Amino acid sequence: MTDLSEAIYLDACATTPPGPGVIDRMAEVYAGCWGNPSSLHGHGVRAAETLERSRWQIASAVNSDGRELVFTSGATESVHLALMGYGLAQPPGRLVISAVEHPAVNAAAQQLQRHGWQITTWPVDRYGRIDMEHCEALLAAPTRLVSLIWGQSEVGTLQPIQTIGNLCRSRGIAFHTDATQVFSQGVPDWQALPVDLLSASAHKFGGPKGAGLLLARDQQRQQMQRLQGGGGQEQGLRAGTEPVALIAGMAQAITLLPRWTEPSAPVIGADAVTGPGTGSLMQLRNQLLQALLADPRLELTGDDQRRLPHHISLIATNHRGKPLQGRRLVRALANKGISCSSGSACSSGQDVGSAVLAAMGYAPDQQRAGLRLSLGPWNQAQDLDRVVDAVKASLDEAEALIEP
């Protein structure tokens, strides 16, 4: 097995290493605040104080009223609580989701369908962007709920959340977004978003696995029903003893993040590499992408302008244009000390074509040829040459296995 101490980690969209101080903060809470925050004695009060201090830290970071914040075990639970918790409390209507949602959104939608909801998929173009020509039809009655992934984890495309949110708000439609990947790059300003329900997961932004959040406006939160019974924790919406140490770790991680800024510059070309902000994570990504695309066997997927600033997604082929298996390339790169993926970590264990690439119009053999590299602040400019050389060598190996 490759020595991980020497490996270059390029799979930030799957998970991230703990941020500075996160483990120390969690250890401190585990040691001194291990009581049940619902208990009335001193140990419980101390834990409750730590829990609410963490809630205040996170609410302050996102510019939210702490009452709008519900702690969960991660984005998957947050998505289900948002869509099912709100949807099951309403008369059945239509839920609109994009064709490139995370599997958690698709699963929650299927649950609502069993309860009488109509599910409609919003088509996307070749770049993974929703087709705005469908706005009027999809946002007309009987649509009552819309869920769009903000930053697509597999191809990096950012959806026009501001535009769709405003359209939903003007029509009285509840709007949910899966902001998991966006949170990894910066904290959105909740008060400036035309969003009613927002899901995120701590381990995508340097926090621990097992902690997540749901932001919910007062109107939607008051209409939601809980999905699991038990205690009355989290305003009665999420029964179960809160994991105080994990939430404290999430609070520590989120306070280290910058404010989210929507990227709007091209990711390839001279301006992308030499323009303002050189040295930033986005510029590092652009430099790596530029070097990789010098190989004619690699093609960028997703939006080449409005995309997650740390994200590279590619289709790999041989010199004759025949797609190469992404999973094979990932294994070859792992043997060379490069950690990356062939798509969403939630489906990477399955040898099937990418549903996201299928929705974007890629052919079946191309749907298995995806390669994703996602950077973090731990990556350095001196890593780039090694990554490019490893990708080239892996392409050569995969190409040699294809019969002439």
Closest CA to 321 of 399, 389, 401, 390: 399
Residue range 352-394, pLDDT digits in tens:
789 999 999 999 999 999 999 999 999 999 999 999 999 999 9
Average confidence score pLDDT of the chain: 93
Q: Phi and psi for 24 in degrees, rounded to 5? A: -60, -40
Mean pLDDT of 179-203: 97
Task: Say how far apart CA 362 and CA 301 lie, in whole Å.
Answer: 10
In the chain, where the domains are located = 4-17+262-400, 22-254
Residue range 60-107, pLDDT digits in tens:
999 999 999 999 999 999 999 999 999 999 999 999 999 999 999 999
Question: Among all chains, which residue has been given the structure tokens 């303002």?
Answer: 276
Helices (H) and strands (E) in the chain, counts: 14, 12
Mean pLDDT of 331-349: 81
**Cis before 258? omega within 30:** no
Q: Which of 33, 168, 340, 346 is catalytic?
A: 346
Q: How confident is the model at residue 268 (pLDDT cuts 50, 70, 90)?
A: confident
Give every strand in the sheet of 197-201, ordered side by side: 69-72, 212-216, 197-201, 174-178, 143-149, 94-98, 118-122
Written in H, E and C, the secondary structure of 179-227 is CHHHHCCCECCHHHCCCCEEEEEHHHCCCCCCCEEEEECHHHHHHCCCC
Element (H, E) at 315: strand 311-316
Choosing among 3.30.70.141, 3.40.50.300, 2.60.120.260, 3.40.640.10, the CATH entry for 22-254 is: 3.40.640.10
Examine the residue annotation and report whether 346 is marked as an active-site residue of this protein: yes
In contact, 51 and 247? CB cutoff 8 Å: yes
Task: Say how far apart CA 385 and CA 50 lie, in whole Å.
Answer: 45
Q: Find the largest Cα–Cα distance for the chain.
A: 74
Is the model's pLDDT at 128 over the cut of 50? yes
| Domain at 4-17+262-400, CATH homologous superfamily | Aspartate Aminotransferase, domain 1 (3.90.1150.10)
Q: How confident is the model at residue 269 (pLDDT cuts 50, 70, 90)?
A: confident
Task: Say how far apart CA 183 and CA 211 lie, in whole Å.
Answer: 14
Is the model's pLDDT at 346 over the cut of 70? no
Task: Say how far apart CA 327 and CA 208 lie, in whole Å.
Answer: 27
